[in-house]
Structure 1
Amino acid sequence: MEDDTHELIQLLLKKFNQKRLYLVGESWGTVLGFKMAEKYPELLNAYMAFSPVVHQSKSEQILLEKLKLDAKEKGLIQAEQELNTVKIPFSNYEQLYYSRKWMFKYDGQAIADKDTIALKQYLKVWSGTWSSTWNEAIQQNLFVELPKIDCPVYFFIGEKDFQTNFKIAKDYFKALQAPKKNIFIFENAGHSVLTEESERVQKIIIEEILK
């Protein structure tokens, strides 16, 4: 996937007769984006990371502990039972399902009963293909592995993002060395900043980054 990303960048630069481009990554896409910024900064005008994956094993553990505490305080017996089966990294699709199911409820976006079977089936199929890749990626710790990037970097972070923990992302941004960097915080957004705050995101990119 890293090779594909690099090849696509080269194809786009050739097609549009450019030496560099702006690269955007969101969530899982930031795993690939950080790799490109690390290895090929000369090809990037800048890298924009939305809801970045920085130290995901720590992020998942923080989320799990938060959900367990919330379930205990609210007396949610089913939540406690299901969350107690979850291990990080996830060893099966059901653990991922329980983590996300109760995260959505905690966020006020509870999954409707009619959608539960469909979601579990989706995660089962997804895990069959991607769980090993994902579990490898979440072991990365960019604080240690990528303390410096040689191109401009911009972070877009929702302060309600517990999936890729916003506090971890903000701490990494502070520590990261780059020729130019900026961070944009969205107080009322969660993990999906691009869709939750699309108009503001577009305004920032056009008026503050591209100009």
Structure 2
Amino acid sequence: MSNKGKNGKLKSESLMIGGTEQWIHYNDSRLHEPLILFLHGGPGVVQVPMLTRYCQSLYEHFLLVHWDQRGAGRSYHFLDKTDLTVQILVNDGIELSRVLCQKFNKRKVILLGHSWGTALGVLMCKVAPGLFHKYIGIGQVGNWLKGEHISYHFTCDQAIRRKKSVALKLLEKIGPPPYKNIVELLIQRTLLIRFGGGMYSGKSALNMIPEYVLWGKSSFLRIPQVTAGSWYSTASLWEQCLAIDLNLLAPELQVPVCFITGRHDYQIPFACAEEYFHNLVAPEKSWYWFENSAHTPFIEETEKFNKLIVNEILSDKIHFL
């Protein structure tokens, strides 16, 4: 089942992965280029609108596939909600990668993950390294719970420095992580973004709303579906996310890796990414700082990001086809 997307020239298509309908979105005008599978963040936050606005250069150079993970975006089904686990999503990602290789006649896949998607991507590489040419992580996860503590204390420090007494009282009321519920997490994240730890350039998640509206205008159900899927995925997976420490779960990978990190990222704090990068054993490792970004370098330093990805892959293009 497929249809041409109205936002740009993407093709949207459903596949049966892990016994359930899951959606992908890709540029079918670049079928002969290297295949990149984009693993969105969240959990549950699909990022097609962000990619189509900020990463057009990647769509011009590669066969870029965005996967709406089980329980997210168009892969969220209101009346058919199965239990979500990290292992199920890892299995889905590996199965999808195999399907994409067969579908597009590719030997291997290049993984590009953001935020939560970096944990998923690393675990996929750990389980099935032979499927992947390269792994690229943006806002890389390391020790998730340790990162949440860093994020919380940064937000408190910023509230004190900026003399935001109401914000500080809210943070003191919810206390440090692990939070009791998703609402407390959202309070901390909202304040974090306001203080520049999520998007350093001064933008906020609210800037993305028009992109989602435009992307979803072909279906009146799209926006509620995206919103419900994001809430469901986060609520289902958050406790499992806090248990992720890649230093222990994936200390060694048999795949070349590249980490792209915002100097001001306190959403998935850069210190934890640095720690994991230092500890990680891999055939090749590369690290790139984005000095004017927090958690979203592909939005905050778009031109630099796109050039980096193109150079990282096209420099060795013959091996990626």
Give the superposition deviation at 1:145.
Answer: 1.8
SS in 1 for 2:173: coil
Q: Give the number of equivalent residue pairs.
A: 203
1:65-99, Cα deviation, whole Å (9 max, x unpaired): 12223323444221122101324122223211220
2:252 pairs with 1:148:
yes
Aligned to 2:308: 204
Give the superposition deviation at 1:129.
Answer: 4.5
Aligned to 1:101: 190
CA distance in 2, matches of 1:13, 1:140: 28
SS in 2 for 1:23: strand
Kindly provide the amino acid, as one letter, of the partner of residue 131 in structure 2. Answer: L
2:171 pairs with 1:83:
yes
2:243 pairs with 1:139:
yes
Q: State whether residues 141 and 272 of structure 2, in contact with CA within 8 Å, keep that contact through their aligned partners in structure 1.
A: no
Aligned to 1:41: 129
Q: State whether residues 51 and 164 of structure 1, in contact with CA within 8 Å, keep that contact through their aligned partners in structure 2.
A: yes
1:136-182, Cα deviation, whole Å (9 max, x unpaired): 11221111221110010010111111000012112211211100110
Unpaired segments ≥5 residues, structure 2: 1-88, 197-201, 210-225, 316-321
Which range is displaced more, 130-139 or 52-61?
130-139
2:155 pairs with 1:67:
yes
2:136 pairs with 1:32:
no
Query: RMSD of the alignment, in Å?
Result: 2.3
SS in 1 for 2:154: helix
CA distance in 1, matches of 2:234, 2:122: 19
CA distance in 1, matches of 2:204, 2:309: 32
| Structure-2-length-normalised TM-score | 0.58
Give the superposition deviation at 1:31.
Answer: 1.8
CA distance in 1, matches of 2:233, 2:306: 33
Q: State whether residues 97 and 123 of structure 1, in contact with CA within 8 Å, keep that contact through their aligned partners in structure 2.
A: no
Q: State whether residues 93 and 123 of structure 1, in contact with CA within 8 Å, keep that contact through their aligned partners in structure 2.
A: no
CA distance in 1, matches of 2:166, 2:119: 33
CA distance in 2, matches of 1:60, 1:151: 27
Give the superposition deviation at 1:49.
Answer: 0.6
User: Which 4+ stretches in 1 moved above 6 angstroms?
Assistant: 122-125
CA distance in 2, matches of 1:130, 1:50: 19
- Give the alignment partner of residue 12 of structure 1, picking from 100, 120, 125: 100
CA distance in 2, matches of 1:205, 1:98: 33
The alignment-based identity, stated in percent, is 30
Give the superposition deviation at 1:124.
Answer: 8.9
SS in 2 for 1:84: helix
Q: State whether residues 30 and 50 of structure 1, in contact with CA within 8 Å, keep that contact through their aligned partners in structure 2.
A: yes
Aligned to 2:83: none
CA gap 1:89/1:126 in 2 versus in 1, 3 angstroms: farther
CA gap 1:85/1:203 in 2 versus in 1, 3 angstroms: same
CA gap 1:111/1:78 in 2 versus in 1, 3 angstroms: farther
Kindly provide the amino acid, as one letter, of the partner of residue 14 in structure 1. Answer: Q
| Structure-1-length-normalised TM-score | 0.86
Which range is displaced more, 136-145 or 185-194?
136-145
Indicate the structure with greater helix content: 1
CA distance in 2, matches of 1:22, 1:126: 25
CA gap 1:129/1:172 in 2 versus in 1, 3 angstroms: closer
